[in-house]
């Protein structure tokens, strides 16, 4: 049988796990924008890093194809980095710095 402290620890762990699951769902629904070329190219991705939209300023359509491709890649990478940073911050604030290999989390 668990003593009072162990029950409290188990409840805290369960609460933390529930909060992490809620936060994960919230993160998956968020939309993050990346931009390059001074905003001439914009990409919106969701928390799963799926590209939702790409907006290219019509003036760029006459530019070199390779430049345009590089701008698109830059936008996507920037947006993905933002998702990683937001996820790390939100999940880290919940776990309070628990080791990443902590069982069940």
Which structural domains are found in the chain, ordered by start?
4-95 (3.30.1310.10)
What percent of the chain is predicted at pLDDT more than 70? 88
Return the pLDDT at 16.
87
For the chain, how many residues are written?
105
* pTM beyond cutoff 0.85: no
Model confidence over 41-51: pLDDT tens digits? 999 999 999 99
SS3 34: strand
pLDDT over threshold 50, residue 105: no
Mean pLDDT of the chain: 85
Position with higher pLDDT, 98 vs 53: 53
User: Which position has the token pair 């003036």?
Assistant: 59
Return the pLDDT at 101.
52
SS3 53: strand
């Amino acid at each position: 049988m668990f003593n009072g402290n162990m029950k409290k620890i188990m409840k805290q762990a369960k609460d933390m796990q529930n909060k992490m699951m809620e936060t994960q769902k919230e993160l998956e629904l968020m939309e993050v924008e990346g931009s390059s070329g001074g905003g001439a190219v914009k990409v919106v991705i969701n928390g799963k890093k799926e590209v939702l939209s790409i907006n290219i300023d019509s003036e760029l359509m006459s530019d070199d194809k390779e430049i345009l491709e590089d701008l698109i890649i830059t936008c996507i990478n920037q947006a993905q980095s933002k998702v990683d940073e937001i996820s790390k911050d939100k999940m880290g604030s919940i776990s309070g710095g628990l080791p990443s290999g902590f069982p069940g989390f």
